[in-house]
Amino acid sequence: MDGEIGNEELRGLLDADARIIDIRSPAAFRRGHIPGSENVPLGSLVDSVERFDDADRVVTVCPKGKSSVQAARLIASYEGFDGRVDSFAPGLSGWEGPVEAGGVTDGASADTTPADTAGTDEGPDAPF
């Protein structure tokens, strides 16, 4: 993992070639996410990490900026990944930019189960 970034830097990456990876559950992602982000729930990230081989820049996002650090470390540790990977420090609860709803997710179900939210800082107090 290269570091943590804030709102200004992430807003600057929205129109760039960066891959923004939202690690929340599919249901939470559909309720609202950073425009252009991709949904890869934390529980399926290990099986999906090779999808980022060709990325020069990856930013991981979670509700409060805690689980995204773990996700960024996982991506950075992948042998085939040579790009820069950062965690979005404020998390979605601190995002100061546009939010869009809907979108394609990696999840098979629209329902959120405890397994979907494990390790993602989600729950009744989560922002989305």
| CATH number listed for the domain at residues 3-97 | 3.40.250.10
Consecutive H or E run containing 10: helix 7-13
| pTM of model > 0.85 | no
Buried-state track 5-27, b at ≥16 Cβ within 10 A, e below 16: beeeebeebeeeebbbbbbbbbb
Q: Does residue 120 surpass a pLDDT of 80?
A: no
54-87 per-position pLDDT tens digit: 999 999 999 999 999 999 999 999 998 999 999 9
Secondary structure tally for the chain: helices H, strands E: 5, 5
- Taking only the tens place, the pLDDT of each residue in 13-45 is 998 989 999 999 999 999 999 999 999 999 999
Q: Give residue 77's Cα distance to chain centre.
A: 16
What confidence score (pLDDT) does residue 107 get? 52
Domain residue ranges of the chain, discontinuous segments joined by +: 3-97
**How far, in Å, are 3, 29, 81 from residue 116 at the CA level?**
26, 11, 25
